[in-house]
């Protein structure tokens, strides 16, 4: 069923003039020229970029080499083969020693409690990382070993990951919201011998006793025959002010201090971060790694099955995250950049840690929640640090939209210049709110489409160059060649809708699934040989803009017509009474599937027959009679992953009344599921 393509045709937003003055890519013609170069001569394009980085030895092979065709042999991607470098050296030492940025602020850390804060310069970060790298070495961690990191959003999390990178160890960061079971699964899969964690932290008002969870995970690992030898614990809450090592900055601990916190301690395994660091030297020669040496593993849950350990390697990931960060946020030396993602997700790896640091950027790192102590917190932080570039998620935007514009307008937000979003399709309603309310209509929106597997942005506007359409991730980044494929694998031309795939690699694409290359090939390359398959549906409009329509496994099939979740949901969310919607198919004897919609209402809106009729009419008008919802259920909350994505798989079970929900370890709040079961229509 063709969606309504005319309604919003004229809604094109052109980048503002003042942003263009200094921009790296100042207009659309420049984008097109550079894009053509990146496609026609990728080796020159990325080779030129590589000149800004430090290489211990130069590359001998091609800048970019690959095979995407399973019928012709093993799938592989190689970047800068033969070169040796170190990413930690490039993001820290290079900035301190070659670019004179030792005194520049790397992170403004903002704790969960307002007033709990810490400033860390590039020079201080380098010393901290060297100290901790020496600690890891003293614990026997060697190049190629895997280290699990399970920590809250504290500066030491960045220190731990960079210390691994410095000595050539592979980090596997597990988001601190995961359960003991999930942590255990990830530790055993990656065969880590050492775990780094913290005593605990607050998320809003909730105390998370992280060490207790980590201990439970380690017990489970032992039961499975996989004993972890060492666990280094950072005292984040239970630290006495006197314990802070001399010379390091001390944040005001008063508000989060919990010297009474019960932290179990096993002297055979547990080690104290602070005592180890106090004895370590702050000089540490980096380990020179081969370009294709592994840098990290990051588990992505996917919609079903065992989590996949997506593996990224050193040089390509470094070049790609640095370049996308610089161009997509049009990074300038005096920027203050804030990405709200946790480092435990790929967004945090690429755009809290490596990308910004590679550019010598100053970032805000935030430990807390957008709703604590109140729903103005994000805007208070924007004003406090004069944030100029902000990067967040559609789910956060929609949640804040519920409270209207007043909490936003309490703060000035004059420093903002570019607003980014990532993680899910952003419905045009939320896009407009972000632009007009948060950005006062001054700031371009960059809707960045990418995945854990892509390492960095692959479809995205460039803020001074790309005219944007609300809800579209616009065009490919440099070096990226998208294709829209039909069910039979035929490549569609022009305006079309189908599977989103990529025809060739860019430096930052994942190299394998850790320990299971066959699964890597099976998931991304086997169905359509010669292409990397994203698993997302997309539509390319008559102007060549790409619109992500959602995961293809979530697509709806009503009487033989394929409908995208994103388009139906965005039609529902256009109604002023609705802030968020999720749509799934319910088995139907005649139509195959009928539409079952869940809607979260705005503050003050009430669900009644009038609203229901309006919503049905709106979907019918926007998409067509075929998409008319059969059921609409008002929901106080939706089941979401811990990273904020709606779990439509769980909703499908709810509408069928199936209590067996399968693997729900990634579900953030299981209480919403019960509520939804209770109020089924
Ligand atoms: C999936 C990847 C990439 C960092 C965070 C998520 C969806 C991501 C967008 C966007 C529409 C998006 C896709 C993708 N997605 N960004 N701008 N527009 N959909 O990483 O957990 O690996 O999830 O998120 O479905 O495949 P991830």
Q: Output the six-digit token pair for 117.
A: 């804060």
Q: Is the Cβ–Cβ distance between 619 and 571 less than 8 Å?
A: yes
The whole-number pLDDT of residue 304 equals: 55
Which candidate, 538, 534, 585, 527, places its Cα nearest to that of 561? 585
pTM of the model: 0.92
Which residues are bridge partners to 499 per DSSP? 485, 537
As a whole number of Å, the CA-based R_g of the chain is 24
Concatenate the DSSP letters of all residues of 84-109 into one string. EE-HHIIIIIIIIIIS--TTSEEEEE
**pLDDT for 288-329, tens place per residue?**
999 999 999 999 875 556 789 999 999 999 999 999 999 999
**pLDDT for 269-299, tens place per residue?**
999 999 999 999 999 999 999 999 999 999 9
Ligand 1, pocket-test mutation among 301, 317, 424, 564, most atoms within 8 A of CB = 424
Which residue has a Cα nearest atom 14 of ligand 1?
A: 451
- Atom number in ligand 1 closest to CA 452: 22
How many angstroms does the Cα of residue 534 sit away from the middle of ligand 1?
10
Q: Is the Cβ–Cβ distance between 487 and 498 less than 8 Å?
A: yes
How many angstroms does the Cα of residue 450 sit away from the middle of ligand 1?
5
**pLDDT for 368-425, tens place per residue?**
999 999 999 999 999 999 999 999 999 999 999 999 999 999 999 999 999 999 999 9
How many angstroms does the Cα of residue 477 sit away from the middle of ligand 1?
15
Query: For ligand 1, which residues put their CB under 6 angstroms from it?
Result: 300, 346-347, 422-425, 447-452, 473, 534-536, 548, 551, 643
Domains observed in the chain: 115-297 (3.40.50.12780), 559-678 (3.30.300.30)
Q: Output the six-digit token pair for 39.
A: 């496609």
How many angstroms does the Cα of residue 82 sit away from the middle of ligand 1?
32
The whole-number pLDDT of residue 468 equals: 98
- For the segment 329-337, the average pLDDT, to the nearest whole number, is 98
Q: What whole-number distance in Å separates Cα of residue 196 and Cα of residue 150?
A: 6
Q: What whole-number distance in Å separates Cα of residue 408 and Cα of residue 161?
A: 34
How many angstroms does the Cα of residue 536 sit away from the middle of ligand 1?
9
pLDDT at 495 over 80: yes
Of all residues in the chain, what percent carry a pLDDT higher than 70? 96
Q: What whole-number distance in Å separates Cα of residue 614 and Cα of residue 632?
A: 11
- Atom number in ligand 1 closest to CA 448: 17
How many angstroms does the Cα of residue 294 sit away from the middle of ligand 1?
23
The whole-number pLDDT of residue 305 equals: 63
**pLDDT for 636-649, tens place per residue?**
999 998 888 999 99
Ligand 1, pocket-test mutation among 325, 451, 554, most atoms within 8 A of CB = 451
């Amino acid at each position: 069923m063709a969606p309504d393509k005319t309604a919003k045709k004229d809604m094109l937003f052109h980048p503002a003039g003042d942003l263009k003055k200094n921009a790296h890519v100042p207009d659309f013609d420049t984008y097109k020229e550079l894009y053509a170069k990146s496609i026609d001569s990728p080796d020159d394009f990325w080779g030129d970029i590589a000149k800004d980085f430090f290489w211990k030895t130069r590359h001998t092979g091609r800048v970019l080499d690959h095979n995407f065709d399973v019928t012709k042999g093993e799938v592989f991607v190689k970047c800068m083969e033969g070169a040796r470098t170190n990413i930690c050296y490039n993001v820290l030492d290079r900035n301190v020693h070659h670019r004179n940025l030792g005194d520049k602020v790397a992170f403004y850390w903002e704790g969960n409690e307002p007033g709990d804060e810490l400033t860390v310069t590039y020079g201080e970060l380098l010393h901290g990382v060297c100290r901790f790298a020496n600690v890891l070495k003293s614990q026997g961690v060697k190049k190629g070993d895997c280290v699990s990191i399970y920590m809250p959003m504290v500066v030491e999390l960045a220190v731990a990951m960079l210390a691994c990178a410095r000595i050539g160890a592979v980090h596997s960061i597990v988001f601190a919201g995961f359960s003991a079971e999930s942590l255990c699964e990830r530790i055993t899969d990656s065969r880590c011998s050492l775990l780094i964690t913290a005593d605990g932290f607050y998320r809003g008002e909730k105390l998370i006793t992280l060490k207790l969870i980590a201990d439970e995970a380690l017990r489970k690992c032992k039961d499975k025959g996989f004993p972890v030898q060492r666990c280094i614990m950072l005292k984040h809450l239970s630290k006495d002010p006197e314990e802070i090592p001399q010379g390091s900055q001390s944040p005001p601990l008063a508000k989060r201090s919990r010297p009474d916190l019960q932290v179990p301690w096993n002297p055979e395994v547990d080690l104290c971060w602070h005592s180890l660091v106090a004895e370590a030297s702050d000089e540490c020669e980096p380990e020179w790694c081969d370009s294709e040496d592994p840098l990290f593993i990051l588990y992505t849950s996917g919609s079903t099955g065992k989590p996949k350990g997506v593996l990224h390697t050193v040089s390509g990931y470094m070049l790609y995250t640095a370049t996308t960060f610089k161009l997509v946020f049009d990074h300038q030396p005096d920027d203050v950049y804030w990405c709200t993602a946790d480092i435990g997700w790929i967004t945090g790896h690429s755009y809290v840690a490596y990308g910004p640091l590679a550019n010598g950027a100053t970032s805000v790192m935030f430990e807390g929640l957008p709703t604590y102590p109140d729903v103005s917190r994000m805007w208070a932080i924007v004003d406090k640090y004069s944030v100029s570039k902000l990067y967040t998620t559609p789910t956060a935007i929609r949640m804040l939209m519920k409270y209207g514009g007043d909490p936003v307008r309490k703060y000035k937000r004059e420093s903002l210049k570019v607003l980014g979003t990532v993680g899910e399709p952003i419905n045009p309603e939320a896009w407009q709110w972000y632009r007009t309310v948060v950005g006062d209509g001054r700031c371009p929106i960059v809707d960045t489409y990418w995945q854990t597997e892509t390492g960095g942005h692959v479809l995205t506007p460039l803020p001074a160059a790309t005219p944007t359409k609300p809800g579209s991730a616009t065009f490919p980044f440099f070096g990226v060649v998208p294709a829209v494929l039909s069910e039979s694998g035929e490549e569609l031309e022009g305006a079309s809708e189908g599977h989103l795939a990529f025809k060739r690699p860019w430096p930052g694409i994942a190299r394998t699934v850790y320990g299971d290359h066959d699964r890597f090939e099976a998931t991304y390359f086997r169905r359509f040989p010669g292409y990397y398959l994203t698993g997302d549906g997309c539509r390319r409009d008559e102007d060549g803009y790409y619109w992500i329509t959602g995961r293809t496994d979530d697509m709806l099939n009503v009487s033989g017509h394929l409908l995208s979740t994103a388009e139906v949901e965005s039609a529902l969310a256009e109604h002023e009474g609705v802030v968020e919607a999720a749509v799934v198919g319910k088995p139907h004897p005649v139509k195959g599937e009928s539409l079952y919609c869940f809607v979260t209402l705005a503050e003050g809106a009430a669900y009644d027959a009038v609203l229901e009729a309006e919503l049905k009419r709106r979907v019918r008008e926007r998409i067509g009679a075929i998409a008319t919802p059969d059921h609409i259920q008002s929901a106080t909350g939706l089941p979401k992953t811990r990273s904020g994505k709606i779990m439509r798989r769980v909703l499908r079970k709810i509408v069928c009344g199936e209590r067996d929900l399968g693997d729900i370890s990634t579900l953030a709040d299981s209480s919403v599921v019960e509520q939804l079961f209770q109020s089924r229509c």
